[in-house]
Amino acid sequence: MRKNIVKWLEIAIGTGFFTGYLPLAPATWGSGFALLIFFLIPKIIWLQSIIILFLFFYGLYLSGKLEKMWGERDAKRIVIDEVCGMFLSLFLISWSWKTGILGFLLFRFFDIVKPFPIRRSQVLPCGWGIMTDDVIAAFYTNIILRIIIWMASGL
């Protein structure tokens, strides 16, 4: 019984509370879910830092475990990497719905197009390949978003 609950919780977290099961672009659904959750989290640096670190390190473990359980390399249902990536994309960014949506669009762009070295990072073993490509896409997003905000503020 306890084992089933733990397995269910791991699947729920790994799939972004089942958004990874939604049809057509589960990574986009997972990113959208993360954007909504990020909006609800207090903008306290230490709290956001802990959440991002938890998502990354638990995501490493969990995505590797779910890959083995489902027998699929980088299964589309696994979206904890997108959740972590969206949180990191918006980390320390002055928050508004405009910056949130722009961050979402930029993150999805980098995650889909996969400029260097994002695509190359996907070959890393176990959960590393799953998590690392989204972390790099998040760094690109965060930097570009900062530049856009800086330019829009009148330099």
pLDDT at 79: 94
Q: Tokens 């299964």 label which residue?
A: 75
pLDDT band at 154 (very low <50, low <70, confident <90, very high): low
| Structural contact between residues 59 and 127, judged by C-beta atoms closer than 8 angstroms | yes
- Please tell me which residue, 1 or 38, carries the higher pLDDT value: 38
| Structural contact between residues 41 and 47, judged by C-beta atoms closer than 8 angstroms | yes
Of 61, 57, 72, 65, the C-alpha closest to 26 is 72
pLDDT at 16: 92
pTM comes to 0.90
Greatest extent of the chain over all pairs of C-alpha atoms, in Å: 59
Q: Rounded mean pLDDT of the chain?
A: 90
Range 43-75 burial, b when 16+ CB lie within 10 A, else e? eeeeebeebbeebbebbbebbbbbbeeeeeeeb
pLDDT at 149: 92
